[in-house]
Amino acid sequence: MNRLAGKVALVTGAGRGIGAAIARAFVAEGAAVVLAELDLDTAQATAKDIAAAYANARVLAVKTDVTQSASVQSAVSEAERTFGPVDVLVNNAGINVFADPLTMTDDDWRRCFAVDLDGVWNGCRAVLPGMVERRAGSIVNIASTHAFQIIPGCFPYPVAKHGVIGLTRALGIEYAPKNVRVNAIAPGYIETQLTHDWWNAQPDPDAARRATLELPPMKRIGKPEEVAMTAVFLASDEAPFINASCITIDGGRTALHHE
């Protein structure tokens, strides 16, 4: 408890799934949290749930489109007006765009990069000037195991997620002398609506679900709360020398060559 006491955090895509779990865990650890989310209704509902669960919770939902730098900048300004300077940014908002490379449309390519890579950069560039000035800050980018492994048919999502790791490493190095840490988390399969949507898009959703549960050596997939625990750690003062790194949360799946 109180591992993030006194800190102000902004979490993108926090209306549901991994982002919502991170927002909740941050509040539980004493942070004031802005849920910066495209779908304001879900963000408000999540903020209300969190406020009901934690006495004195400081939580605010702000409509934000991470693809638009002005929108992210405005969410950061609102966070600062309401709670004070942003100490922690979690770039979590992301979408799946899975296509065949040669039949994919230009629009698919652009919307994947707009959310999954530009969105992360837009977040970083909105908070970095303040963090650099204060010589303190932690940025956590939610990448994916697609950032270093490829599943056929999932193009161009892994290309954007590889970029998230590159961005994390580059900014981590640029701003290390200013005491700003930039790290990534690479989740494997985590049970969220995104994963359910993918199962439901398969010819046999139940078979797809069962096959997914067989993939990790632990024979289960992850929970959003398990990603949130690592986000708390990276955001906290318990990780002062962890920078430009990526922590994988996949129950060991990417270490497995084959069964």
Judged by beta carbon, residue 195 or residue 243, the one nearer ligand NAD is 195
Applying CB under 6 A, does 251 fall inside the site for ligand NAD?
A: no
Burial profile 101-140: b = 16 or more Cβ within 10 angstroms, e = fewer: eeeeeeebbeebbbbbbbbbbbbbebbbebbbeeebbbbb
Judged by beta carbon, residue 138 or residue 192, the one nearer ligand NAD is 192
Applying CB under 6 A, does 18 fall inside the site for ligand NAD?
A: yes
Q: CA–CA distance from 240 to each of 7, 121, 136, 148, 235 (Å)?
A: 15, 22, 10, 25, 9
Q: Which of 54, 157, 175, 189 is catalytic?
A: 157
Question: In whole angstroms, what is the distance from residue 202 CA to residue 259 CA?
Answer: 24
Site string for ligand NAD, 199-238 (x = CB under 6 A): ----------------------------------------
Least distance from C-beta 149 to ligand NAD, angstroms? 11
Number of C-beta neighbours around residue 236 at 10 A: 18
Applying CB under 6 A, does 66 fall inside the site for ligand NAD?
A: yes
Applying CB under 6 A, does 172 fall inside the site for ligand NAD?
A: no
By CB under 6 A, what part of segment 34-53 binds ligand NAD?
A: 37-39, 42
Q: Is 256 helix (H, G, I), strand (E, B) or coil?
A: coil
Least distance from C-beta 76 to ligand NAD, angstroms? 13
Q: Which two tokens stand for residue 257?
A: 């060559």
First to last CA, the chain: 40
Say if residues 160 and 114 touch (Cβ distance below 8 Å): no
Of the candidates 59, 62, 89, 94, which one interacts with ligand NAD according to CB under 6 A? 94
User: Where does this chain touch ligand NAD (CB under 6 A) — which range of 99-107, 191-199, 208-216, 230-238?
Assistant: 191-199
- Nearest CA to 125 out of 82, 177, 71 is that of 71
Which stretches of the chain bind ligand NAD, using CB under 6 A? 12-13, 15-19, 37-39, 42, 64-67, 92-95, 115, 119, 142, 144, 187, 189-190, 192-195
